[in-house]
Chains A and B, each alone.
Chain A
Amino acid sequence: MTALPQSTEKKLGLVIDLDTCVGCHACVINCKEWNTSNYGAPLSDIDAYGAEPMGTFLNRVHSYEAKQDGKNAQTIHFPKSCLHCEDAPCVTVCPTGASYKRVEDGIVLVNEDSCIGCGLCAWACPYGARELDKAEGVMKKCTLCVDRIYNENLPEIDRTPACVRTCPAGARHFGDFADPDSNVSKLTAERGGMELMPEQGTKPVNRYLPPRPKTDVTGIGKIDILAPYLDPVPEQAGGFLGWLDKALEKI
């Protein structure tokens, strides 16, 4: 067992907008690319060109279908990485102290020097957000790009996680949930940002913005509101040409 801090000064995390995410995997690969160097061991790819390639990724996009009676099925793209939980079971389960949550910003990290690759933390995580690297034998997880967000060798504007910087649709946002005026706190408030599986009691920091309601499900009722826009031109003398002549006169 490893202790969690009583509280953290900041609660850094991500807001992921499911209404905007097109499932392009840009975040997945840019994360892989940044994190295969920098903090910790490389993210290996086993059987890289073979029958069953198995690589380590800190972030993956899953796609789901939602079927509802009488409505079109929906496709939802769901990016998933460590949620940097306040009550992180992956930390408390760690037998060596390798898994820990940082006091200053709440980022959950693995100290690879202490990690024995036992895998208990991956079992404890209800979100499946940790992956054991098969080449190095250590546990890998999202670091919230701790080696970017404070990095004085990067321009200030780039001190943000790689997945956020690269997201083409702007569906990913990074900030401090402890600050009610931060962009992530405001987005969460405005758009009803959701915790993932709150019943697990892990108090995840990351939030997901739900897809906005679709308008393609009823169709019928709405035509009445807009019906005047499609009234045929008046069937007066001259019909369409008569209307045309009068309409042109008004230009």
Chain B
Amino acid sequence: MPAFDQPALDTSPEVSDEIRKTTCYMCACRCGINVHMKNGKVKYIEGNRDHPVNQGVLCAKGSAGIMQHYAPSRLRAPMKRVGERGAGEFEEISWDEAFEIAESWLRPIRETNPEKLAFFTGRDQSQSLTSWWAQAYGTPNYAAHGGFCSVNMAAAGIYTMGGAFWEFGAPDWDRSKLFMIFGVAEDHDSNPIKIGLGKLKANGAKIIGVNPIRSGYNAIADEWVGITPGTDGLFILSMIHELMKAGKVDLNYLTRYTNAPFLVNEDRKSAEHGLFLRDEDGKPLVLDRATGKPIAFDTPGIKADLAGTYRHAGHTHRPVFQLMAEKYLSDEYAPDAVADRCGISADTIRRIAAELAHVAFEEEIVIDQPWTDWKGEKHAQMIGRPVAFHAMRGISAHSNGFQTCRALHVLQILLGSVEVPGGFRFKPPYPKPVEAHPKPHMGINPGKALNGPHLGFVHGPEDLLLKEDGTAARIDKAFTWENPMSSHGLMHMVISNAHAGDPYKIDTLFMYMANMAWNSSMNTNGVMDMLSDKDENGDYVIPHIIYSDAYSSEMVAFSDLILPDTTYLERHDCISLLDRPICEAEAAADSIRWPVVEPDRDVRGFQSALIQLGSRLGLPGMVNDDGSAKYQDYADYIQNHERRPGVGPLAGFRGEDGKGKGRGAPNPNQIQAYIENGGFWIDHIPDEALFFKPWNKDYQDWAVSRGIYDAPQPYVFNLYVEPIQKFRLAAQGHGDIQPPERLRKQVETTMDPLPIWWPPFEGTLVDIERFPYHALTQRPMAMYHSWGSQNAWLRQIHGANPLFVSGEIWLDTGFAEGDWAKVTSHHGTITVPVVRMDALNGKTMWTWNAIGKRSGAWALEENASETTRGFLLNYLIDELLPEKGDGQRWANSDPITGQAAWFDLRVNIEKAAAPAGNNSQPHFPAQKSPVGKGPKNVTYGDDF
């Protein structure tokens, strides 16, 4: 027996030569990271403790950044396609040649038909640059990926309450006592949510998870509501029914801070039906309880009535709140009436509604902090209702998603729990009323800039982007009668519309960071065909495709010209208040990325390449008077561009002295100041301005001082959204701008100014007996979309994705461990491995999103597990709905916003023999890798 002999250890080894602080980009969360450098290489990445987003912690993705940065799939140089589209055959070229090719396509069409460029960026975090570039180019065809992601959540939030979840708001994690989380993608805002859940748990708050699948956050929820997919809106409206019936709503809050008292024209024959009664200045009117007379809603000192009626010019007017009572007190929304459809017992619905009421009204929070409202009234305390909500893609990616998200916000507002202690709080630059957002623009002037921003918020039929002949101005048909409020565009329709030449043909498709030839498209195999389809002359139907990516993704193989991007550690970026910021409820904040490692390949940050391409094309704002480039690269732009005088991409360290906050002249040392400050800037909101922000005078003044607004913008929440009613009025025959007959009924029934619910479209169009089940995808916390799946460490966690099948379906189908299944939708069939899961809605099956890879992509071996056992559900999902028999094809989207209805999918499942080679089906032939294959084995760290 060896003697006990303990070796001496060096317990203080040197950790690194230097720490460089930048911003993570392993997902869209944008945490601060400390990058430990040793011998010029990245040794270790940890969370930055001072950073407002992650407060020191870091998720699996962030910790795997080393494997991403050194990934073998990194592109090395610009490339031009030399084989057929899809084959993956390329020749590396110089940047000069790449720019010359791009210019040869883009310059001529700009002079004649700038709309022939469709520029769509994917999970872009530089939309204030890319949209500005597209506007300068002059094409109306620009958007990012919101249309296939979560525009329902964003648009419903902004139309209803002038702000939305995630970047624009968050639960009050420190004070909430009851938290409900609906259908969240576990990769979104993941560290703040996990930090927040930890705080709620430590404080003894109750967490209720509403999700068909009990994974991740739902696993630790105190209560799990395994709801039937697509019925969240019905569940929420039923709780609203219960709360209103019991009078458990915050009447004081509703009269002060919402449009509940606004008087609505009730005369169905009137051309103003459903619109607000307004004074001569256009201000909506409310009834003053003291006088019984109508008066402007924002008159100081009045008490608005919710109970009265007012007759004016022969029309009866009633407050919004009465219309709500009439609608939601109906038995249609009683728990017993909705329970079966939701898959939730009526008792559970009643109990959760009672718990919300109990916590909101019996456990209110009082903070002894005086504040002054927008009318000048002083309040001694801040009183809060400590119920908070969060939701994301799970409730929004349905064809009833917009109204469902609206319903959730209306519930929050009825409880008086928005912008109060313990509730939901906005993050600067929000709150911001919908009226303060831009409207969409389509004014094309060949050779010149577009006449305004592409995307925005419509306020009625007059704001639609329709040409004189009534056809769509945009290639994605955003802002048309098919989806009037498509605030983020419809990226998922671009390729199919361009291929069909409907509404018109384009010349060049220019995309960034969007894997449209794989997991980012519905109908993946169809899209691959469209991208490689040729016309009768043998030319590609979509003539030119320019694509920028850092890695050898599936989409690269389908492109003609590749602009290779850097990794996130090699680039400049700004996480800007003009874009999707990193602010917190108690502070404005923004941040940068900077090259903590210099690229060792001939690659450029996409934003730098875009600016350089813009100046070569002579785009306005990108060249000086003598035609020379105004900005050398993205860093130059970040530091020197001014969107408005004194307001630029970064809010911190402005002015020549570097002391400007929000406003100030460009500072030539600004980026260095950020680096010295840990890669970010933060500016705390004063205590008296921390809550009630839309109505808080001190917040409004602070926001103006920081350049967030140019004048105070107080407003009230829209329980009732008047612009929606304007579309419905048109569908009812009022006004000059009329929907086409085929869409009239859809517009009339879906554009309800108060939230309603309808069954997801796909389920009403297919034979439910044939397709009795729901199929969903979720994103895992340890893998992000398409840009992480080749990561050597993360692929050992999520290297293949089985189909998880509920215990009920498992037993009904007679599955056994190791089985394969054939899953069929109205659109397609897949054959995949199955695994039983009981913590799952009984009628539902699901899988992890974007794990499956095409053979040959991402520098993986051709038989990598992602390509053999991995698969996509996308093959089952069409961008169009099944035929209705009316001679039309309808988009598989929300009829209000156009959001892709990924989660409406209905399927059948049966046992199947294991496919040949144990490859999940469909299985596509390998693409040729333009970067070769990764090394066999990795032993990272052996040289430190």
Q: Which residues of A contact B (CB under 8 A)?
A: 1-5, 17, 19-26, 28-30, 32-34, 36-39, 41-55, 57, 63, 65, 67, 72-77, 96-97, 100, 102-103, 109, 111, 113, 135-136, 146-147, 149-154, 157-158, 162, 165-171, 211-212, 214-216, 219-220, 222-223, 226-227, 229-233, 240-241, 243-245, 247-248, 251
Q: Is the CB of A135 within 8 A of B246?
A: no
Q: Is the CB of A50 within 8 A of B60?
A: no
Partner of A170, one of B198, B226, B838, B938: B198
Query: Smallest CB-CB separation from B354: which chain A residue?
Result: A226
* Chain B residues whose C-beta falls within 8 Å of the C-beta of A46 in the assembled complex: 936-937
Q: Is the CB of B66 within 8 A of A230?
A: no
A26-B57 in contact given A33-B44, A147-B13 (Cβ < 8 Å)? yes
Partner of B305, one of A4, A72, A248: A248
Q: Is the CB of A233 within 8 A of B190?
A: no
- Give the Cβ gap from A134 to chain B, nearest Cβ, in Å: 8
- Complex Cα gap A146–B325 (Å): 64
* Chain B residues whose C-beta falls within 8 Å of the C-beta of A43 in the assembled complex: 941
B202 at the interface (CB under 8 A from A): yes
Q: Is the CB of B941 within 8 A of A29?
A: no
Q: Is the CB of B245 within 8 A of A232?
A: yes
Partner of A152, one of B12, B61, B839, B860: B12
Q: Is the CB of B15 within 8 A of A151?
A: yes
A49-B861 in contact given A168-B195, A215-B223, A232-B245 (Cβ < 8 Å)? yes
A30-B58 in contact given A219-B348, A220-B347 (Cβ < 8 Å)? yes
Partner of B781, one of A24, A75, A162, A227: A24
Partner of B11, one of A2, A150, A251: A150
Mind listing 11 A-B residue pairs with CB under 8 Å? A2-B1, A22-B781, A26-B62, A29-B63, A38-B944, A97-B3, A151-B15, A166-B47, A233-B247, A240-B329, A243-B247
Tell me which of A65, A150, A153 has the highest count of chain B C-beta atoms within 10 A of its own C-beta: A65
- Complex Cα gap A62–B726 (Å): 53
Q: Beta-carbon contacts of B774-788 to A below 8 Å, as 1s and 0s?
A: 000000011000000
- Complex Cα gap A154–B19 (Å): 11
* Chain B residues whose C-beta falls within 8 Å of the C-beta of A113 in the assembled complex: 7
Query: Smallest CB-CB separation from A223: which chain B residue?
Result: B351
B225 at the interface (CB under 8 A from A): yes
A135-B937 in contact given A29-B60, A153-B15, A233-B246 (Cβ < 8 Å)? yes
Q: Is the CB of A169 within 8 A of B358?
A: no
* Chain A residues whose C-beta falls within 8 Å of the C-beta of B6 in the assembled complex: 100, 102-103
- Complex Cα gap A176–B782 (Å): 30
Partner of B202, one of A97, A109, A170, A211: A170
Partner of A154, one of B15, B245, B350: B15
Q: Is the CB of A33 within 8 A of B45?
A: yes
Q: Which of B1-31 contact A (CB under 8 A)?
A: 1-7, 9-15
- Complex Cα gap A1–B3 (Å): 9
B797 at the interface (CB under 8 A from A): yes
Q: Is the CB of A28 within 8 A of B350?
A: no
- Complex Cα gap A57–B796 (Å): 10
Q: Top 4 closest A-B pairs, CB basis?
A: A49-B934, A37-B941, A97-B2, A168-B194
- Complex Cα gap A52–B793 (Å): 12
Q: How many A-B residue pairs have CB under 8 A?
A: 323
B905 at the interface (CB under 8 A from A): no
Q: Is the CB of A48 within 8 A of B936?
A: yes
Q: Is the CB of B351 within 8 A of A169?
A: no
B56 at the interface (CB under 8 A from A): yes
B381 at the interface (CB under 8 A from A): no
* Chain A residues whose C-beta falls within 8 Å of the C-beta of B347 in the assembled complex: 219-220, 223
Query: Smallest CB-CB separation from B197: which chain A residue?
Result: A169
Q: Of B417-425, B524-532, B863-871, B887-895, which stretch is located at the interface?
A: B863-871
- Complex Cα gap A135–B386 (Å): 54
Q: Assuming A25-B60, A73-B214, A251-B303, what are 16 further A-B pairs, CB within 8 angstroms?
A: A20-B197, A24-B782, A37-B44, A45-B796, A49-B790, A50-B863, A55-B792, A55-B938, A65-B838, A97-B5, A103-B6, A152-B12, A219-B345, A229-B248, A230-B248, A247-B251
Q: Is the CB of B43 within 8 A of A248?
A: no
Q: Is the CB of A53 within 8 A of B1?
A: no
A232-B937 in contact given A50-B861, A157-B49, A223-B354 (Cβ < 8 Å)? no
- Complex Cα gap A198–B744 (Å): 69
Partner of B795, one of A53, A166, A168, A219: A53
Q: Is the CB of A55 within 8 A of B197?
A: no
* Chain B residues whose C-beta falls within 8 Å of the C-beta of A20 in the assembled complex: 197-198, 201, 220
B939 at the interface (CB under 8 A from A): yes
- Give the Cβ gap from B851 to chain A, nearest Cβ, in Å: 14
Q: Is the CB of B4 within 8 A of A5?
A: yes
Query: Smallest CB-CB separation from B202: which chain A residue?
Result: A170
* Chain B residues whose C-beta falls within 8 Å of the C-beta of A166 in the assembled complex: 46-47, 57-59, 63
- Interface size of B by Cβ–Cβ distance < 8 Å? 119
B64 at the interface (CB under 8 A from A): yes
Query: Smallest CB-CB separation from B195: which chain A residue?
Result: A168
Tell me which of A136, A149, A232 has the highest count of chain B C-beta atoms within 10 A of its own C-beta: A232
Q: Which of B178-236 contact A (CB under 8 A)?
A: 186, 190-191, 194-195, 197-199, 201-202, 206, 214-226
Query: Smallest CB-CB separation from A104: which chain B residue?
Result: B6
* Chain A residues whose C-beta falls within 8 Å of the C-beta of B10 in the assembled complex: 147
B467 at the interface (CB under 8 A from A): no
Q: Which of B450-503 contact A (CB under 8 A)?
A: none
* Chain A residues whose C-beta falls within 8 Å of the C-beta of B840 in the assembled complex: 73
Q: Is the CB of A1 within 8 A of B1?
A: yes
- Complex Cα gap A36–B64 (Å): 12
- Complex Cα gap A206–B511 (Å): 50
- Give the Cβ gap from A43 to chain B, nearest Cβ, in Å: 8
- Complex Cα gap A241–B242 (Å): 16
B410 at the interface (CB under 8 A from A): no
Q: Is the CB of B807 within 8 A of A73?
A: yes
- Complex Cα gap A226–B348 (Å): 12
B596 at the interface (CB under 8 A from A): no
Partner of A48, one of B64, B206, B353, B935: B935
Partner of B864, one of A51, A73, A215: A51
- Give the Cβ gap from A114 to chain B, nearest Cβ, in Å: 8
- Complex Cα gap A121–B859 (Å): 37
Q: Is the CB of B935 within 8 A of A226?
A: no
Query: Smallest CB-CB separation from A171: which chain B residue?
Result: B198
Q: Is the CB of B14 within 8 A of A216?
A: no
Tell me which of B12, B47, B306 has the highest count of chain A C-beta atoms within 10 A of its own C-beta: B12
Q: Is the CB of A37 within 8 A of B43?
A: yes
* Chain B residues whose C-beta falls within 8 Å of the C-beta of A23 in the assembled complex: 215-216, 219, 781
Query: Smallest CB-CB separation from A162: which chain B residue?
Result: B46
* Chain B residues whose C-beta falls within 8 Å of the C-beta of A167 in the assembled complex: 57
- Complex Cα gap A147–B10 (Å): 7
* Chain A residues whose C-beta falls within 8 Å of the C-beta of B861 in the assembled complex: 47, 49-51
Q: Beta-carbon contacts of B305-332 to A below 8 Å, as 1s and 0s?
A: 1110000000000000110010001000
Query: Smallest CB-CB separation from A154: which chain B residue?
Result: B15
B355 at the interface (CB under 8 A from A): yes
Query: Smallest CB-CB separation from A55: which chain B residue?
Result: B796
Tell me which of B206, B219, B252, B782 has the highest count of chain A C-beta atoms within 10 A of its own C-beta: B219
Q: Is the CB of A165 within 8 A of B329?
A: no
- Give the Cβ gap from B51 to chain A, nearest Cβ, in Å: 13
B96 at the interface (CB under 8 A from A): no
- Complex Cα gap A24–B838 (Å): 20
Query: Smallest CB-CB separation from B72: which chain A residue?
Result: A49
- Give the Cβ gap from A7 to chain B, nearest Cβ, in Å: 12
- Complex Cα gap A158–B58 (Å): 14
B54 at the interface (CB under 8 A from A): yes
- Give the Cβ gap from B104 to chain A, nearest Cβ, in Å: 37
Q: Is the CB of A251 within 8 A of B307?
A: no
Query: Smallest CB-CB separation from B783: which chain A residue?
Result: A25
* Chain A residues whose C-beta falls within 8 Å of the C-beta of B799 in the assembled complex: 53
Q: Is the CB of A41 within 8 A of B942?
A: yes
Q: Is the CB of A32 within 8 A of B58?
A: no
B255 at the interface (CB under 8 A from A): yes
Q: Is the CB of A3 within 8 A of B1?
A: yes
Partner of A211, one of B46, B220, B933: B220
